[in-house]
Structure 1
């Protein structure tokens, strides 16, 4: 007996695709508007926080309007991802003319500016790219394969351009992760970044130096003039780290629960982990779990506190290192310790940016990020920044390197935290002229 159609299936236009001219231009326009509205709402409220009703209201129609073209949110998101992935590959294909001269700076600047527009349109798609974001509760897509093709194509462009002193694959991974993360910070109005145009221009200068540190200042300023008021006039004071709590105050059971939650958040993301999952991983009953924590947000909040505590001590050390003008070797040693810390707490740190956190956690996360930015600005104050590189953008680049280059996948069985730290130091030194 044939299955009865659901109301959504009955309403949705059969066989509708962008190439189906039988439906007409008006139908295509409506479909495009639905995807555009969903893209904005997903970016602002997350996938789970956006309803079909909200999309319909934004389009100016009804649920029936949306269901004429899509079976539900999953189908809308998959189509959005398909378009975003195609746009990403076309974007990297337009990158030509790189080099250590004004023409090369001009080509990279144009590409970075286009990338900022692309990010604003497809922010949720970028959050699925490995090494860039970590979005939860989303329909399965082929983002990892597309991200791999994107990086490979970019690395080939760098080989063709004659990039030296850093492996093209490493330079490609660094540039792509940094530009995407800085755009994410700007998109979410984090770290007091300037406008999209000003941020892109500063980012283009830093990425030009990452690829071609021999680029003369005249070539940089010819394309990106220095802007008034974009100087760091005062080194921010270090944020005092909280005193260490008494470890004996945390029971072994509570420690097991926190460790299980941290591991699960790292593997699956905050949104895809339930309390039953945490109880099973910790080896406790749900009743025991709920005696310690009211919900996963409370577990995440406590984990954030521990992450902020340990990270705060590291930030204090980085601030002191920057203030006394530490050597490159000292920076690499600090970065190696940071890499180890980041990998231990990556589930929490990733979730700070994945767009799926509950509103009540925003204040906790914000407090955790304050010492990182203060330390980054202190480090930037010691750099020989070009006059057209905004210090706020430079600090965001430091934070992007800490947040994403520390997750670099091992290239061999013998790679160590110090190896990863060495790459991170190389990226910072080239892009920001730290040494």
Structure 2
């Protein structure tokens, strides 16, 4: 095989005068088949060869248009980002009025429409954003710029009690997470419009708790509903938990397995599950590669053990939550629970993202995620549902919104230009809960 380097011509970018109509068509076909493959196999599992084959071109031809798969993702990200910015530019005045509420509801509906159109990208966006990849800085820049635009709208509305930049971060984080739940089938059969309307009521009260009840009744909303949350059966995981894996081992061997699991959690948290290799895990744990395979068959095998631990902890957290009164003026118990849950969510973030986005090729991991989230949602429903409210309220959707708050807000608070401390993030969540779910609206 020749050792001469492969020389490529300058890439045909979207505005290149050399690309021509035929080249533009080829470039567009590459982008479109990539979107289909990302939907089917995920960004990290899609190869350049697979894209070239689907586009019916050679690998060399593909490289004339895109230097790498990351560049294709970036173009798709730019495309859906432009659609969201067009929506943001058209947001009308916000505030505790019928016009303000209507504008908020319209914005959420338009966001949901964009998410539906680019659902593959937004789902993959979350996967890529949680990993160390070349595309992540582009995602971070987009989110930061979008939050600046939303914050400006909130500042114009003379928002009280919350910094506009913090409120904007919370809004975009929750809207994206709720749409992610829709497209990963985590909303218990609720229709998209009912979710948009429920989120409209919550965010209106979160931002403007002084909003009169008549304003919340001014739109024809489909948010009132009843029902329970059914927790699915827990998958069988005999022999896969950490205690079972270490049973009968020497103390030294058991410590080795525990260290590998801890290193896996740390690497998945830092790099994302897909970007983490077995070599990364053993290097972080300080062992040889062969040591890993003595106790685990593959990376996904270790992920399963972590997901079992994460599920057990989530169920324990869910049971504790049932004993807490979220309307109690003394928020100490609520604060302690939110702090503990935030630390739990951070430690297991790599595993949680894998089961939330259903990107791991394991029915056990997916099943554990569905079980853990449903168990948590059932507890969230228990603490939210009993109170009478003089405005549209769907208990099940409110539980899902609260799930989005506790899972996403602490991490989103670390991604803004001036990150919040954990205590500040907990303060924000308490404010969101008290305003958004228990505001005393007036007639």
Report how far residue 89 of structure 1 moved. 3.1
Would the aligned equivalents of 1:47 and 1:138 in 2 still touch at CA under 8 Å?
no
Report how far residue 179 of structure 1 moved. 0.5
Which residue matches 1:398? 402
Residue 262 (structure 2) pairs with residue 259 (structure 1)? yes
How many Å separate the matches in 2 of 1:100 and 1:113?
A: 19
Gaps of 5+ in 1: none
TM-score, scaled to structure 1: 0.83
Report how far residue 95 of structure 1 moved. 2.0
Would the aligned equivalents of 2:231 and 2:375 in 1 still touch at CA under 8 Å?
no
Residue 328 (structure 2) pairs with residue 334 (structure 1)? no
Which one of 314, 331, 339 corresponds to residue 317 of structure 2? Answer: 314
Residue 237 (structure 2) pairs with residue 232 (structure 1)? no
Which residue matches 2:98? 102
How many Å separate the matches in 2 of 1:264 and 1:22?
A: 42
Report how far residue 145 of structure 1 moved. 1.8
How many Å separate the matches in 2 of 1:406 and 1:313?
A: 20
Would the aligned equivalents of 2:95 and 2:101 in 1 still touch at CA under 8 Å?
yes
Q: Deviations over 1:17-71 (max 9, x none)?
A: 24749723x764564454344334424431133356765787xx62359837545
Report how far residue 118 of structure 1 moved. 1.9
* Mapping for residues 59-208 of structure 1, pairs under 5 Å: 62-64=56-58, 67=62, 69-70=65-66, 73-123=69-119, 125-126=121-122, 134=130, 139=135, 141-208=137-204
TM-score, scaled to structure 2: 0.82
How many Å separate the matches in 2 of 1:187 and 1:16?
A: 31
Report how far residue 389 of structure 1 moved. 3.6
* Mapping for residues 287-366 of structure 1, pairs under 5 Å: 287-321=290-324, 329=331, 330-354=333-357, 356-360=359-363, 361-366=365-370
Gaps of 5+ in 2: none
Which one of 407, 420, 429 corresponds to residue 424 of structure 1? Answer: 429
How many Å separate the matches in 2 of 1:122 and 1:268?
A: 25
How many Å separate the matches in 2 of 1:347 and 1:340?
A: 13
Residue 38 (structure 2) pairs with residue 42 (structure 1)? yes
Residue 384 (structure 2) pairs with residue 380 (structure 1)? yes
CA spacing shift, 1:293–1:350, aligned 2, 3 Å: same
Greater shift, 197-206 or 244-253, is seen at: 244-253
Would the aligned equivalents of 1:239 and 1:374 in 2 still touch at CA under 8 Å?
no
Report how far residue 167 of structure 1 moved. 1.9
Q: Deviations over 1:405-426 (max 9, x none)?
A: 1222299999764432221111
Would the aligned equivalents of 1:181 and 1:400 in 2 still touch at CA under 8 Å?
yes
- Considering only aligned residues, what root-mean-square deviation do their CA atoms show, in Å? 3.8
How many Å separate the matches in 1 of 2:228 and 2:216?
A: 25
Which one of 268, 279, 282 corresponds to residue 279 of structure 1? Answer: 282
Which one of 346, 355, 368 corresponds to residue 372 of structure 2? Answer: 368
Q: Deviations over 1:258-296 (max 9, x none)?
A: 111111111000001111111111111112111111111
CA spacing shift, 1:172–1:382, aligned 2, 3 Å: farther
Give the match's secondary structure for 1:357.
coil
How many Å separate the matches in 1 of 2:375 and 2:115?
A: 27
Report how far residue 163 of structure 1 moved. 1.1
CA spacing shift, 1:218–1:72, aligned 2, 3 Å: same
Report how far residue 237 of structure 1 moved. 8.8
Residue 23 (structure 2) pairs with residue 17 (structure 1)? no
Q: Deviations over 1:195-220 (max 9, x none)?
A: 22222122122111111112122222
Greater shift, 336-345 or 143-152, is seen at: 336-345
How many Å separate the matches in 1 of 2:187 and 2:311?
A: 17
Report how far residue 130 of structure 1 moved. 8.3
Greater shift, 382-391 or 328-337, is seen at: 382-391
Report how far residue 150 of structure 1 moved. 1.4
Give the match's secondary structure for 2:217.
helix
Would the aligned equivalents of 2:225 and 2:395 in 1 still touch at CA under 8 Å?
yes
**Between Structure 1 and Structure 2, how many residues are aligned?**
423
